[in-house]
């Protein structure tokens, strides 16, 4: 097998493509012949030892894959050899083969291409859990999405519209704003790359103006940093602020705002929820496959890179130039 390996701490430029022995699945595992791997922001962190998961080196990044089951470990009954599947692997996906826990492997519809399957579970799973389970978004409510042109943000636009919400997409450029409008966002808002105190006040004012009334009902924050506080200040009474990610830094939010607005700050840890609430995760995946079949959601892949060019894909991700999803294809 071939794998794009992280052998030392560093950025994408440190990755090397090497030949390795093809692994045999152990008890409870399956071996998947990888056809595609979806990129996510944690892939840029894990190779720098900046992620909560720190695998022993050498390892391949890539925590979300789709492919064909090639071999089964002892006791595996969930899937069979030849099944088309997607899987959450945590790491190891930038390779021709990967081992996965059978409980993290899900069969995919025959009509779903591997590239789209590899870009489905983490982004749409996170956003569906956030909007359905954590915020309970209702029809006609207003939904502000920070970082709306990224993977989870783009998924949140589609899922928000499917839930009947009025979606305001906040992004950093007109190109990204147009992308969000094409996805169905009702309104777009362009924020500056750097946000000082005066800029925060203006940003909050713009959100309230677009939301109408007292403010926005739900904030989906996949950005963090200095953008968080003005978003909380723009919440309506009993609004919900979803903590999804913070590539711009971990924010400090004055807790008196929660009292004044009767609002909630709600954590979204989708990965943990899949383990702690497996029945709910299964129901959510059924929801996503149904919405995919109905045309309500569809992973939007803006760039494809072959395995040997995976480093280029990671540079695109770390520089926040991704629209929707980027996928690594494995010949």
111 occurs within a structural domain:
yes
Q: Are residues 255 and 184 in the same domain?
A: yes
How far apart are the C-alpha atoms of 14 and 37, rounded to whole Å?
Answer: 19
Q: Are residues 171 and 221 in the same domain?
A: yes
Arithmetic mean of pLDDT, 29-56: 94
Weakest mean pLDDT among 82-91, 102-111, 138-147, 315-324: 315-324
Measuring CA to CA, which residue among 331, 326, 328, 1 is closest to residue 149? Answer: 326
102 occurs within a structural domain:
yes
Q: Are residues 94 and 138 in the same domain?
A: no
How far apart are the C-alpha atoms of 82 and 329, rounded to whole Å?
Answer: 19
Q: CA 242 → CA 73, 89, 148, 152, 199, distances in Å?
A: 39, 25, 14, 13, 22
Q: Are residues 116 and 248 in the same domain?
A: no
- CB-CB contact of 169 with 185 (8 Å): yes
CA atoms lying within 13 Å on the CB side of residue 247: 17
Over the stretch 62-91, which tens digit does the pLDDT of each residue have? 999 999 999 999 999 999 999 999 999 999
Q: How many folded domains does the chain comprise? A: 2
Q: Are residues 32 and 71 in the same domain?
A: yes
Output the pTM of the full model.
0.91
Measuring CA to CA, which residue among 173, 205, 220 is closest to residue 192? Answer: 173
139 occurs within a structural domain:
yes
The domain of 69 spans 2-120+299-329
Read off the tokens for 203: 């940003």
Over the stretch 258-277, which tens digit does the pLDDT of each residue have? 999 999 999 999 989 998 99
When pLDDT is cut at 50, 70 and 90, the band that residue 303 belongs to is very high
Q: Out of 256, 271, 286, pick the residue that ends a domain.
A: 271
Q: Are residues 155 and 245 in the same domain?
A: yes
Q: The domain spanning residue 201 has which CATH number?
A: 3.40.50.720
Q: CA 149 → CA 211, 223, 275, 284, distances in Å?
A: 19, 11, 28, 23
Q: What per-residue confidence (pLDDT) applies to 14?
A: 97
99 occurs within a structural domain:
yes
Q: The domain spanning residue 112 has which CATH number?
A: 3.90.180.10
Q: Out of 223, 251, 271, pick the residue that ends a domain.
A: 271
Q: Are residues 168 and 70 in the same domain?
A: no
Q: Are residues 222 and 95 in the same domain?
A: no
Which residues on adjacent β-strands are paired with residue 3? 18, 95
Q: What per-residue confidence (pLDDT) applies to 247?
A: 87
Q: Are residues 195 and 265 in the same domain?
A: yes
Quick check: 142 pLDDT over 90? yes
How far apart are the C-alpha atoms of 172 and 219, rounded to whole Å?
Answer: 17
112 occurs within a structural domain:
yes
Q: Are residues 128 and 242 in the same domain?
A: yes
Q: What per-residue confidence (pLDDT) applies to 170?
A: 98
Q: Are residues 218 and 129 in the same domain?
A: yes
285 occurs within a structural domain:
no
Q: Are residues 254 and 159 in the same domain?
A: yes
29 occurs within a structural domain:
yes
Q: What per-residue confidence (pLDDT) applies to 292?
A: 96
């Amino acid at each position: 097998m071939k794998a794009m390996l992280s052998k030392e701490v560093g950025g994408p430029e440190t990755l090397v493509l090497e030949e390795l022995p093809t692994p045999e699945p152990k008890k409870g595992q399956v071996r998947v012949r990888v056809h595609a791997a979806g990129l996510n922001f944690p892939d840029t962190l894990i190779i720098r030892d900046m992620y909560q998961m720190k695998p022993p080196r050498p390892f391949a990044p890539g925590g979300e894959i789709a492919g064909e089951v090639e071999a089964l470990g002892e006791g595996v009954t969930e899937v069979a050899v030849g099944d088309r599947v997607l899987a959450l692997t945590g790491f190891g996906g930038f390779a021709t083969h990967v081992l996965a826990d059978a409980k993290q492997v899900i069969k995919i519809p025959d009509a779903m291409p591997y590239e789209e399957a590899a870009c489905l579970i983490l982004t749409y799973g996170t956003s569906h859990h956030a909007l359905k389970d954590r915020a309970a978004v209702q029809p006609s409510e207003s939904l502000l999405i920070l970082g709306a042109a990224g993977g989870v943000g783009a998924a949140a636009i589609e899922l928000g519209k499917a839930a009947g919400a009025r979606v305001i997409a906040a992004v950093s450029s007109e190109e990204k704003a147009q992308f969000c409008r094409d996805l169905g966002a009702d309104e777009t808002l362009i924020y500056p790359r750097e946000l000082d105190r005066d800029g925060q006040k203006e940003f909050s004012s713009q959100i309230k103006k677009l939301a109408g009334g007292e403010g926005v009902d739900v904030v989906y924050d996949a950005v963090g940093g200095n953008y968080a506080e003005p978003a909380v200040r723009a919440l309506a009474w009993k609004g919900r602020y979803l903590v999804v990610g913070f590539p711009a830094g971990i924010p400090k939010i004055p807790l008196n705002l929660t009292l004044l607005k009767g609002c909630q700050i709600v954590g979204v840890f989708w990965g943990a929820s899949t383990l702690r609430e497996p029945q709910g995760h299964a129901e959510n995946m059924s929801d996503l496959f149904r919405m995919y079949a109905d045309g309500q959601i569809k992973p939007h892949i803006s760039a494809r890179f072959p395995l040997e060019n995976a480093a280029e894909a990671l540079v695109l991700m770390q520089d926040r130039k991704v629209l929707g999803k980027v996928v690594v294809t494995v010949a």
